[in-house]
Every structure is written in structure tokens, then in C-alpha cells.
Structure 1
Amino acid sequence: MSLVVADVQETVGGGAQARRLYAYTIPGRKDQEWQRETDAGLVHGVGVIKVGETTKPTARQRIHQQLNTAYPGLIGVDILLDDSAVRTDGSTFRDYDVHRALAAAGIRRVGGEWFEATLDEVKAAVSVVRGGRRFDPTRTLDFGMRPEQEEAVAETASYFLEHRDDARPSHYLWNAKMRFGKTFTTYQLAREMEWSKVLVLTYKPAVHGAWKDDLLGHVDFEGWEFVDATVPVSEAVAIADGTNPFVWFASFQDLSGRVEGAVKQRNEPIHLLDWDVIIIDEYHFGAWRESARELYDPADKKLAEAEEPEEQVTEADLALSSRNYLYLSGTPFRAITNGEFSETQVYNWTYIDEQRNKEQWPAGRGDNPYIDLPRMEMYTYRMSQTAEEFADDGEFNGFSLNEYFRARKVEGGGRNDYEFAEPTQVAQFLDMLRGKLAAQMKTELLGAKPPFPYEDQRFSDAVRHSVWYMNDVASCFAMKALLEKHPFYSGFVIHVAAGGHAGQGAAAKLPVDEAIHKAESEGKSGSITLSCGKLMTGVTIKKWASIFMLRSLKSPESYFQAAFRVQSPWSDVQVDQPRVVHKDTCYVFEFDPNRALSLLAEYGTRLATGEDQTTSEVLGELINYLPIFAFDGGRMQQLDATDVLNWATAGIGASALASRWNSPLLVNINESTLTRLLDNADLLASLEQIEDFRNLSADVQKVITSTQKLKAAKREKPKGLGEGEKKEKKETTKLRTELRKKLQKFVARVPVFMYLTDFREEALTHVIRSLDPALFERVTGLTIADFEMLAKIGVFNANYMDAAIWQFRQFENASLRYADEIGVDVLTAQKVGLWEKSVDAQEVGIPAAHNEAAAK
């Protein structure tokens, strides 16, 4: 058979007629070797490509017309490209324009429309014609910004321009969930601002690839250069001294390293340059470092310390020069609520925003850019009373998954031989996942059996490849041993991504990919990855569609960082075919409902950063896009915002409620907050009139100075602090703790004013001002104005006080209802007062029936 296929004629059409540009190759030609002389030397390649055009709706139709006789069904034909022949200015172009661009780049034509070229070279030639740019075979990306990315660039540029003449550098935060496209959007901001010297700093060196690929692969950033630790110092200096714009990527760990007390030679230029902007990537390390450590495998203690340091990095610590600072994070809630950024300094893009845009994308606007981002659903299962009693951890909400799955070393066993303390309980749990417990089977006979992960058909695709999030290495290996002996679960490939042998960061990903490949190639039921921290941040396994939360986490940031691991897109785009989405929905399976729903309610509190937003409003919208189903008492029900808030506070007694008002979350005494306090002379003077705070200025200054000194010492002494410095650290920690306890006394006295007033519908601050501000001062020692100023600068967290007041109201109403008090519904009325605002009763979960009764 001849390898040269004659073209079949089609109507040429008018000059402005819409055309598709295509590229393909065929057997024989796809293996054809070639070589080319270039300025850089001899280039070798394999495969000859035909580049043509068509007026038909798809390239496949035209190619079928050409080749179907020689290749029935186009078997063996590789369609490499099918793209619209439209320039960025809206005008059309022809295939011969692309042919000219290929020829100008030194690419040889070998008859007709066939070229000795790589697919990347063809794509680069198309980009040249489409945008009128210089030919660069490495730049094949030419996608534009999504609407939210354009909005982020516009709002951020506006802020920086407005504050360019300020005495201090400008700071801005992008609170953007995973897959927002932070690297690409940051570079677009740099173009908009006409910056040419950009420094990117991160505690997560694994993100290096994304920053490099977007800069060097997209046509929009032609002429930009990239510097990292692999670039020789002399070359880096030459780039910095040159005229081309550049990005310098560095890790905090490397930048803070010292050689005999001096900055590393390769990092010296970083300290000498006057940067246009400094990008602080993965900023959550400074916003939730205590709880972030939950996401680390215990075997990675050094990595946890390096990536989630105890101290927050401040502008002064960097010892660098820049007029602008941009912070990037998917979960910076504590940074926001600590008052590090005002509302005008934050651009928000959350899971709610993403799913709302996905759902509401206009049909006539073209391809939906959010189509392959799965919707999440949460299924919570309350364990049996026996299990809850067995795994009581002594806390007020009792049940602990960490206790339930507690494991120990097998006596006389090998390094990875572990067993559960109560294997019978865990075996029953595995049966529960399949709906095979006696009680579940009985329910099935009655025809009302709720869905269970490994039993219900709706979950079959999602549990094919899953991750089980355990508490420690011991429980991971104990679970592996139990699963591999089980007649059902032994059909899965069980992989332990835990312990020192599993690798760190991106290195832990390859074995998981291999386990998934093994499961699919060997016809197994699927794969189960057991982790106690690895792969829970910064790594994507696209085929994971479900996560089993088998540990009790303490913070919403840690919880949702882990949960969003399974929300990664998994789709394929084939030439001339619509996008195929393989994962429409992903699932979180939860077995400690009280703790999980409390974290969800807290997550809503942290998302509610605007003045006009309440926790319940945000939580209601979140649940709209993240439905929650709860199994309790033999039935499965879908929860609304009221149910979540009620469930989250169920069982909270008076003592637990009191402890809520002494929570450390209500008081922030980090370095940035204390600095703002020190800058407020009037407030300091007022506080120092109180006996406990006679030496407040000196104490705050001492904490700040010591913190900065110790951070500098840690940078200069990577092997550890000296004895004197350790002693100073201990004293500073003690002083910080004393300050926190004193400040907590103010907050702990606030509930007194809820007991003293029947005006439940008014904001508490309004009640205090109106009725007896003098009493507030006598009880707390603070004026209302001082208290509000402490909240404004971030010492007291108004959002958390709102949540605590709401819980108080719920507990109070439930108690009165239980006592059958006449008039209890009048207390709820139509409004509920929180700390600084009053909201509609239904917005905070008070049933409508109560409001109707009150109205009557």
C-alpha cells in the first residue's frame, strides 16, 4: 500500500468562512526518522506530520473523506490536532499561513502538506500565526484566563496601583482553592503591572514544576526567563542584570540557610535586588501551622518542621526589598481572622464559587471551564453505641476514631508488623462498610437499607480507587494486614503510603500510581491507599474519587485540605471529540459525625469573612454544593444548614459551652497582631490602667523582639539553638501564654451579659451600649470601645464570638424547651442577636415554626 495518500478535493469556501486546522500522521510515516541542522546543532526526530484545513465541522470528517478507503474506520491514523483557524483579533487564517511559519522556523516540507516536525513545533507555529508572535517550539500553551482569574488580576492590580505611594509596601492575599490556577494568574498580574523582577518564595519546593512550566510553556510569557537553584550563579546574575523580565524561584528553607553565618553564595543576588513583587506561595504555613502538622506522616517530623514552622514569617524576617507582596493560599482562614489582611486586601475564590460557576455557566458562552471539577458529597455514619463507648477518648464529645483504630506492634514481629488493639471491632467496621452487619441485613429485609460505601451501586466507581486516612503508621500497617486477609477486600491492591520507606512529597506519588496501574492491568477490584499524612497536601492522584476519614482531625483547614485531595479533575480530551469527564462526583466518607460536622460549621465560620455574611448563610450555600447525608438510627437523611449546626452542637453541655468562651481561637497573640497592638498607643494606655496589664507595653515588646531574635537564630543555626537561646524561647513561650490567659479573661466574662438581657434579637454590643456600658466596664475592666478595637486589630475574633453566642442561644433555647417554659418561642422571635450584628432567625437555624408561634 502506498504511504502517499492523494488529497480529496472539498469546497474551498470564501475567505471569511470558518475553518478547522488539523494535523495527522499515518502508519509508516509516524515512524519515519529525520534530522535537521540548527544553530544549536543537529536535531533528530521521528514522525512526519500533515498539516491541513477544512470547512467541515470536524477534522475527523475531512480526514475520513481523505483516508477511509486506505484506512477503514481510520484505524492506525493518529489525529494530532483539530483547532479553529481564528486569530486572537477574530480574523481567520489558512493552513498555508502555518506552513509558512514552519518553513520560517527551518522545518522541512517533504511533499504537499507533510512536514518533518514534532507536534509541539506544529502547535507553536499555529500559536505564531494566531497571535503574531515569534516562533518558539517550547511554547505550546495559549489558553486564556477564566473569568475569576481576570477578576483577581483586575482587583489586585487596582489595589497595588492605589497604594503605590504608601510609606510601607503593599500586601495582598489570594484566598484561592486548589486548581484556581495561581501560577498562571500571578504571571498575568505581572504582565498587567509591567513587573520585570519577580521573586517566588515557598515552603513547598514540590510546586516548582508548575511555576516553571507555566512561565516557559505559555505564549503569553514569551521573552521571560526562569531562575531556580539549578541555574549556575553566574548565569543567574547575568539574567538579573539583563533586560528580559524574569522570575526567580526559591524555597524558604534554602533562602534561610547559612554557611558559617553568611547567606549562601547563590542566594546573594536575591538579597541585593530591588524586587517588583515578592510572591509568598502556599501561605497557609503561616496561617494554620499548628494544625497543618496533622497532615504530615509522623515519619516526616523534620519535613513538618521545615514546611510548617512554629513562627510566622514576616516581612522583616525576609530582609528583602520590594514594594509589593502577594500571598497565595487555599486555606488562609487564620491569617484573615487574625487581622493580617483587611477585606480590601483579599481576593476570595472558594469551592462554593467554583461550583456555582460550574452550575450557572451559560450554554451559549462556549465550553464550560469548570466542567471537570467534581462536586463533593459527604456521607456520615454514626457508629454503634458499643463502638462509641469502646472508643471514648475522655473528651466531651466522647468518640474518637484515633482510639477506635489504635494499633500496636506485633510481639516478635517484623518492622512493619502491627495489629489493632481491638481487631474484632475493626473487623465489624469493615463489614459495616459493606452493609453486612446483622442490623444492616435486617434493615435490608424491611426494604429501607441506607447506602454503604462498598455495598451501594452509586458508589461503585468512586470506591474503585480510594484513600483511607488513618491516624498513624501503626494503624496503616495493621489495616493492610486485616484487609489482605479479608475475603472481600483482598481483591483490592492495598498500598501503604506511610512511614519513612514511602518517600516524601511528590516521591510518594509514584508508588500509588503503580498500585492503581496494577489493579487495572491485573483486573483487581481496585486499589486502597492507606495514609497517615503523605499525599494529603500538594499532590494530586486524579483517579482517587473517595476518601475515608478514619482519624479525628482537629481543624477545618486540615480536614478540608485532606478532603479536597479527591476533588481533582479526571477527564480526557481527544482531538475532534467532546471532553470526557470520568469523575462527576467525589465522596467523603466520615465516621465521626459530631467532630466532622463541627469542623464543617467552623469552616463556614471562617468562610464568612464579609460583614454581610453569617455562618449560616455561607454554610447553607456550601451545603448546596457539598450535600451532606447522615446515617443515624437506621436511616439516612440529607442535612440542611440547620441540621448541621444542630448536629454540630448536639450534646454540648454547659461545661463545654463555658470552655468555648475560654477557647484560644478567640484570642490571637501572634507577632503581627501584637505589632498592631503595640502601634495603638491609646489602646495600650487604656489597657495599662488595668492591674493585670501594668507592664503590657514592655511585655508585648519583649515577646516581639525575642520572637524575631529566635527566628534569626534558627536561620543562622540550622543545626539547632544554643542553651541560652532555648532558655529564652522557653521564657518567651511562658510570657506569651500568660498574655493569652489574661486576654481570655475578658472574653470569658462576655456570657454574663447574655444572662442579663432578654433582648435576644439585638446584637450583644448594642444591648451593652444601650443598657449598661458601665456594667460591662466593671465586669470586664474594658470599655466597649477598647473591646471593639481589640477585635478590630485581630486580638479578639468577632466571627468566633458570633459562633459562640449562637451556640449559647441554642443551648439556652433547648434547655427552656426541655423545661416546657411558657414563652420560650418569644425569646427567638424574628431576629437573633450575635456579637456585632442581628440576623434573621432562620439564617442561624431556628425552625420556622418557632418564628410563626412567636408572631402569633
Structure 2
Amino acid sequence: MTLRIYAYTHNGKDSETWERTVGQTRTTGTGLIKVGQTTSRTARERIKQQLGTAYPNLDGVTILLDEKAARDDGSAFTDHHVHAALVTAGIKRPGGEWFEATLDEVKAAIHSVRTGSNFDATRTAKFAMRPEQQEAVDVTAAYFRKSRGDRPPKFLWNAKMRFGKTFTAYHLTREMSWTRLLVLTYKPAVQAAWRDDLLSHVDFAGWHFVDRDTPIEHADQLLDGAAPVVRFASFQDLNGKSPDGQVKAHNESIHLTDWDCIVIDEYHFGAWRDSARSLYDPSDSALADFEEPDEWVTEDDLGLNSRHYLYLSGTPFRAITNGEFTEDQVFNWTYVHEQRAKANWDPAGGENPYLELPAMEMYAYKIAPEAAEYAEDGEFSSFNLSEYFKAHKVDKSSRWTGAGAYVFEGRQRVREFLEMLRGKLTDQMKVQVLAGQKPPFPYEYPDFAPAVRHSVWYMADVASCFAMRDMLDEHPYFSGYEVVVAAGNGTGQGAAAKPPVEAAIGTATKKNKSGSITLSCGKLMTGVTVREWGAILMLRTLNAAESYFQAAFRVQSPWAHRDAEDNLTIHKPTCYVFEFDPNRALALVADYGTRLGRDDGVTPRESIGELLSYLPIFAFSGGEMHRLDTTEVLDWATVGIGATALAARWNSPLLVEVNEHTISAVLADHELMEALDQVEDFRALINLGDQVVTSTKMLKKAKREQGGQLDPAQREQQKETARLRKEIREKLQKFLAKIPVFMYVTDFREEALRHVIESLDSALFEKVTGLTIDDFKKLNRLRLFNEENLNAAIFQFRMFEQDSLHYADRDREVQPEGDVGLWDRTISGGEFSDAVPGHQRGANRELSAFEGRTTELLVPE
């Protein structure tokens, strides 16, 4: 016989007000709660026996809690034990089993009986770690325990949003028996997550949370005590100074404490900086400068004492190529890992813990070829969405501002675009849709309706956001949505930009409107979650996979709730990315997939194939929806890039790492320095490197001491340092530009190019570049060259080369003999041929990767 404990209220009882005073604490509330027990299968069965006559079908009754009445040791407890715990806590019992209590207080009483712990109404969360969270704790703890050396060990969790980094970090703290944890972040908005996870979960009872608002005397008392303490601080506040130029009083204890571990949260390391900045609203440029600095934070920069360092990244897809972390110092958890775990969960292990995490799908619509004239960007031979939705300010007043308005430069084409979103095609558009089923459009297709009820439209700038708001307000269909602009100086930064969006969602619900549309050009794209968003419309052009997917994953947050009877309702099983520049977007998807493969040690094709199994992409051809396969995605990503653009990639700044740490490592090797001085392309590194390192360290120190600000002279020095970096980078790019020559002249095309250089064709390499093999090996070990981007460049070069051979005889299958070498690894000829766009499609293959692949939605001016 299984005993269950339950709690409920009903009409009348739920509106009774009460108050109580325990010690010096006065508490008021509304609603009485009945706490009982039953041997029935569910509480609902027992409550029906009690109230079925007065409340048919239990209408008007709210079941608040229903769970097994079992202690942790397996023994049963009764409702009398729970009643006693409530009364002992000072909670009044006006009659029978009814209590003047909150649901959290009832949960706390049950928890205290179940575990034998003290009553704590603030701690009601009791969920366990998911398998990947446990793995992160195990791997990290093992690394920290085995580490020996002069410097404190460090570890990186490269985990996507919704991994639960705060909760897992606290469990690592428990595992390591740490009692002093310092959390530093450039994103103050994450403070609530760190505080709530610590103070609400039963696993961390007895722990204390301290921040800048904690009275100094109380904070010092806690840090001098024995109980575990978590101190939260932002870099902005920590770097600031008091009026007399000293450390702020509430931060003094941070500098005086020997920390068990310092956690650096929500920081996007060096190479990610430029991409991250594209996610910021232009009005937040100063914030972008501060939150995405030139160099990643190091232990030396902090000037604090800690025995361990844990770095947390909210961008799981970015490459770890800066050499700061070795493979055994990184734990990865990406979207593919998450969805793979969801799909492969064994029911024997209980309920799938990943059910709440939505799957993602992308739908790509190609706007008219004529649109290319608006903003041809060259690199991908595609038009620019940011230009397509370009807007400017005009003198006429707007009903929203009364002082001025923004209008689109191509108002008619934007009007037609809005009609297209609803599937209302003009005659010119209909010409392109052949006989057959019309493609599904975002605001027409019934299956999309739940997701687009609350969506975010990602625009290029503030002007386009306001211009779109006015156009939606005038539109007979979209005016039925509550539209909110999260852009510009009038909107708060970080989490402060979220309340207006939540208010718009609430208004849409209360007034029974069609839904809500948030217009943003950067705000709410990092560090903030709006659970109701089910779709994002990409109405701007982004050039980096990091920035693209950081924005896309904003809508992949879970939205579900569990009722008192443990029934889980999932409100968002699938979320959507609606893309209108497929050439660019699919190139970024291929880039993302290739990077994921780098982490897992698989070929680009295998990696992209698995990504597409969990993130299906649909394009349109002949009026029918068409799901793209790996070959077709690579078709968009590579064959569409012209030879000129491919050549330009060998002069890309992304191929070299010019940062303080890499330069310092090179300068520290005196023999290498002497050798490099003999090669013209490296002389800039020799002559200017020390100046860049010294200046960078000085500027970082100045920022710390001056509250993140630089004076005019220092800003000029910062510009000069950036110029020197650029000069060094350009010289190194000149060296790498010789690699394609070497690719053509070597006979060992099946080997990884680095292996060819170092072992098989060394004399040729030294002749072409002037650099010895030993020195080249050293530069690779020091991570001067970005291996990931070099692999991608060579892969695309090989594919373009192979496709050129195929083009010479379109009906003949061409397959390389043996393996195909990339930069530091090889793939088989068969795998390569499968990856070459259009291979094995023979005469059916279209010469242009962009023709006949999607429904071309003609939107005339």
C-alpha cells in the first residue's frame, strides 16, 4: 500500500486573507490550503470522494500537490507529521487540516519531514542533475584533483544555453568541498540565476549568497565564518573605484579572500569578440566595448587569489582555437549533444529529462534575384538583408513618438514581404510557384501558428525596427499583434529590456490579441531568455556562425509546466528559424556543423549530417517543401562561393591568432625569434610584438584601475595598438597566402597539408616560404595559426577544385583516388566525394547552387 500526501484549495478558501507574526517577522497572505493523505492511486480520486457532490468534476478545486509520502530512507510518513512541522514553524491552523500557509511553506514542511532537515520555506526545488551535468562535474573534478603545477588549474565549460551552468557549478563546488566561491561576469543580468539556484534548491541548504547589496559587515562576517559562501560580482563593479581612487568598500573582501575557485561566467573569449559585438543594439556600443574586450580575462589580470578557475561560455558552438585551453580542459555540450540525448533516452531510466527542450527547424525562403541589386556583398554572391530592410528618419511625425518617424527606403517591397509572410502572393510571385502544394509561410501555415504567436524579428538597426513597427501598426493583419520595439536608447540594457516584452506578451494574452512581435536589433540577443518566443525571423545579414546561432538559440528555450499531479505540459515542442537569405544562412550552418565536427573528431560531412538530423532545414522548389540533405547544404555553402572569394579567404585575419598570449609565447622563444627575423613576413611580429604586448597589458591595467574607462591619451594608444596588431596580422596573412601555391605544386595531395609540410615535402616548403620546418612546428604548437579555419579553407578549396573537374564533364563521376588532405587531418576519397556538392547527381545537377533550389519569392520595388 502506497501512501500519498496531497494539498489543495477551492473557491472561497482560496480568497481568505491571513497574517501571522513569528518573532519579528510579520507575514500576510491569501488562501487556505488543506494538507491530507490517501492510499488512493492519485489525490484526485480521494478529493473526488470528499468534494465530488459540491464540486462536480472538481470544477473550482485546485490540486496544488500530490506526491509519495516516503522519507529518503524508504519509510513512510503521514499528514500528521507534516501538520506538526507546519505548526512548529508558527503557521496557524484555523480548523481541521486547513492551514494559513503558502504552497512553498507546505513543500518545505514535507521536505523537512522527508529528509529530517530544518524547516526552510525558501528551499523547495529538489530536482537532480541531468546526466551531462553529472559528467561535467565528474570530468572537471577529476582534472582539478590530478592537476599539479605552479599555476592554479583552469577548466572551460563550453555549454549551450539551458545546460544549467549555475546549478552544475554549485554541484562541482559540493563535490570539491569548496566553501569560498567567487563568481565574476561581464553580464550582471545573470545574477538572479546564480542567487535563485543557490537559495531555492534543497541541495545547498546552509549556503550563503553575497553581492554588492549585502551589508559590508554581514558579508565580512559570513566570509569569516565556516559556512559555504558564494560571492557574486560584475567586472564593471569590481573594476570601478571609489571617489578617492581606492577599491570600493564592498569589494575589499574580494581582494582579501583566498578563494577556492573563481568562476568567470558569460565571457566570450578573444576570437569571439567581433562576432559578439554584432549582437548588440547600436545604442549599446559602449556596453559592447566593455562586455566584449580585446583580450580574454586571465588569472593574472584579476589580481585575486584562487586555487582553481572555472570558465563558463554561453556560446557552445564557438571554436576553442585560441590555445588557452587544451582538449582535456574543456567540456562541450552543444545543441547536437542535447538533441542526441533527447532522442536516445532510454525509458528504463525514467522520464526523459530533455523533453522540455524544443527541437529547432529552419525554413529558408529566397527573396527575388532582383533583390541582389540592392546590396551585393561579393563574398557569397548574395544580397544583404540589412540593406533590403534599410530605413531612414523623416520629418513627418509618428503616432508613437510625435516628433519624427523612420521609413523603409523600399516601402513597397517591404509591404509585399509582409504579404508573403501570410502566403498572400502577388501575381508576379505566383509565376514562380509551379503547380503543386503552395509552400508553408510563417503566418499562414497552421502548424506554425503556436510558434509565431510570440516571435522576435531580428532587424539590422534601430531605424529598421521603428520603421517596421509603424508598418505593422498600419497593416490590417499584423495590427492585431501587440508590437514592442526592443531597440534604441529608450530601452534598457541587458535584462532591463525584458519587462516591456513581457508586458506586451501579457497584454496580448489578456486582450485576446493574435500574439506579440518583438522587434530587436541586438537587445535581448545575449544573456536573456523570453520563454514564450517560438520563432525568430532573421531580417538582417550576419557574417559569423557564432553571432547567427547565438541569436537563433534565443527561441530554443523551454516553455513547459508540471501540475500538482506531476503531469508535464510542453507548450513549445518545436521552435523555428525563418530565414530569407538562404545563401548566407546555409553557409553559416555548414560552418557551424564543421566546427562541431572538429570537437567530435568526425568529418565535415558526418558532422553536418548529424546536425541536420536534429536541425532540419527546408527550402522550396516547384511549389513543394523540400528538406535539404548534407550535400545540398554544402552546395549552398561552397560551390556558390566564387574562386575570387575563396582566394580572399587565404588573406583572412581569421587564419592567424594575434593576441597578447600568442605573441608573448612567440617572443619568449629566443631561438625562434632569431629564425623568424630572417623571414620578411615575420619581421613585423618581431619588431612590433613586444610593443603590442606591453601596451595591451598596460591598457588592461588602466581599465581595471579606472573603472573600465580610458582617458583620451590612452584611447589614442589603444588605437595605435590596434593598428600595430593589424600590421602584424597582415604580414602573417602574407605568409599564409603562399599556402595555396604549395597546395598546387605538392604531389602529396592525399595527406594532411601540415603533415606534408613537416614530413613529406619539407624542402619545397622551405623554398616557397623561407621558414624552416622546425620553426613552423613551433609556431603551430604556439597556436599562431588557427587550425580550425585553415581546415575549413582547405576543405572548401578542395571542394571547389574537385567541382571544377566535375564541371569539365558534367555526366562523368569524378572521385579522387585515396584520401584527401586538409590542414591537420585527412578524410577518405569517398567521404570527400559525398561532400562535394552535386557529386553523383550527374546531368541533373544545376550549375548554379542557387537556381531551382528554393521558391524565388519575387518582391518588386
* Aligned with 1:423 (options 403, 411, 434): 411
Per-residue displacement from partner, 1:557-616 (whole Å, max 9, x unpaired)? 111111111111112222115211111111101111111111112212332343722333
* Aligned with 2:245 (options 240, 261, 268): 261
Per-residue displacement from partner, 1:742-762 (whole Å, max 9, x unpaired)? 222232111122212454432
Q: Which structure is richer in relative contact order (CA contacts within 8 A, separation 6 or more)?
A: 2
The verdict on how the C-alpha distance between 1:332 and 1:64 changes in structure 2, with shifts beyond 3 A counting, is closer
The within-5 A match list for 1:278-677 is 278-284=262-268, 286-331=270-315, 336-393=320-377, 395=379, 397-413=381-397, 415-435=403-423, 436-442=425-431, 446-576=435-565, 578-610=567-599, 612-631=601-620, 635-677=624-666
**2:382, 2:584 within 8 Å by CA — same for their partners in 1?**
no
The within-5 A match list for 1:30-69 is 30-69=14-53
**1:416, 1:477 within 8 Å by CA — same for their partners in 2?**
no
Give, in whole Å, the separation in 2 of the partners of 1:51 and 1:158.
45
**2:433, 2:623 within 8 Å by CA — same for their partners in 1?**
no
Partner residue, 1:232: 215
**1:288, 1:332 within 8 Å by CA — same for their partners in 2?**
no
The verdict on how the C-alpha distance between 1:789 and 1:130 changes in structure 2, with shifts beyond 3 A counting, is farther
Superposed displacement of residue 685, structure 1 = 4.2
Q: Does 1:214 align with 2:197?
A: yes
Instruction: Give secondary structure in 1 for the equivalent of 2:64.
Output: strand
Give, in whole Å, the separation in 2 of the partners of 1:848 and 1:503.
46
Instruction: Give secondary structure in 2 for the equivalent of 1:337.
Output: coil
Partner residue, 2:232: 249
Superposed displacement of residue 89, structure 1 = 3.8
- Further displaced range: 617-626 or 283-292: 283-292
- Across the aligned residues of Structure 1 and Structure 2, the Cα RMSD in angstroms comes to 2.5
Per-residue displacement from partner, 1:539-574 (whole Å, max 9, x unpaired)? 222221111100001211111111111111112222
Which amino acid is 2:824 matched to?
A: E
- Further displaced range: 262-271 or 82-91: 82-91
Which amino acid is 2:568 matched to?
A: R
The verdict on how the C-alpha distance between 1:850 and 1:196 changes in structure 2, with shifts beyond 3 A counting, is same
**2:236, 2:708 within 8 Å by CA — same for their partners in 1?**
no
Give, in whole Å, the separation in 2 of the partners of 1:631 and 1:203.
42
Give the TM-score, by structure 2 length.
0.92
**1:286, 1:311 within 8 Å by CA — same for their partners in 2?**
yes
Per-residue displacement from partner, 1:172-221 (whole Å, max 9, x unpaired)? 01111111111111111101101111100011111111111111111111
- Further displaced range: 630-639 or 81-90: 630-639
Which amino acid is 1:23 matched to?
A: A
Partner residue, 2:106: 122
- Further displaced range: 757-766 or 554-563: 757-766
The verdict on how the C-alpha distance between 1:138 and 1:720 changes in structure 2, with shifts beyond 3 A counting, is closer
* Aligned with 1:179 (options 143, 159, 162): 162
Give, in whole Å, the separation in 2 of the partners of 1:396 and 1:848.
16
The verdict on how the C-alpha distance between 1:536 and 1:740 changes in structure 2, with shifts beyond 3 A counting, is same
Q: Does 1:271 align with 2:271?
A: no
Give the TM-score, by structure 1 length.
0.93
Which amino acid is 1:166 matched to?
A: G
Superposed displacement of residue 697, structure 1 = 5.2
- Further displaced range: 300-309 or 244-253: 300-309
**1:830, 1:851 within 8 Å by CA — same for their partners in 2?**
no
**2:758, 2:777 within 8 Å by CA — same for their partners in 1?**
no
Per-residue displacement from partner, 1:347-400 (whole Å, max 9, x unpaired)? 111111111111122223222211111100011111111112233245552410
Ranges in structure 1 where 5+ consecutive residues have no aligned partner: 1-16
Give, in whole Å, the separation in 1 of the partners of 2:804 and 2:684.
43
**2:631, 2:837 within 8 Å by CA — same for their partners in 1?**
no
- Further displaced range: 328-337 or 613-622: 328-337
Ranges in structure 2 where 5+ consecutive residues have no aligned partner: 843-861
Instruction: Give secondary structure in 2 for the equivalent of 1:462.
Output: helix
Superposed displacement of residue 649, structure 1 = 1.4
Partner residue, 1:721: 710
**1:492, 1:525 within 8 Å by CA — same for their partners in 2?**
yes
Partner residue, 1:4: none
Superposed displacement of residue 316, structure 1 = 1.5
Partner residue, 2:847: none
Superposed displacement of residue 496, structure 1 = 1.6
Number of equivalent positions: 835
**2:805, 2:814 within 8 Å by CA — same for their partners in 1?**
no
Q: Does 1:831 align with 2:815?
A: no
Q: Does 1:155 align with 2:143?
A: no
- Further displaced range: 182-191 or 687-696: 687-696
Superposed displacement of residue 37, structure 1 = 4.1
Instruction: Give secondary structure in 2 for the equivalent of 1:376.
Output: strand
User: What percent identity do the matched residue pairs reach?
Assistant: 58
**1:312, 1:671 within 8 Å by CA — same for their partners in 2?**
no
Per-residue displacement from partner, 1:102-142 (whole Å, max 9, x unpaired)? 23333344444333322111111111122222211111111
Give, in whole Å, the separation in 2 of the partners of 1:445 and 1:611.
42
Give, in whole Å, the separation in 1 of the partners of 2:538 and 2:26.
55
Instruction: Give secondary structure in 1 for the equivalent of 2:688.
Output: helix
Superposed displacement of residue 538, structure 1 = 1.6
**1:605, 1:800 within 8 Å by CA — same for their partners in 2?**
no
**1:127, 1:142 within 8 Å by CA — same for their partners in 2?**
no
**1:393, 1:403 within 8 Å by CA — same for their partners in 2?**
no
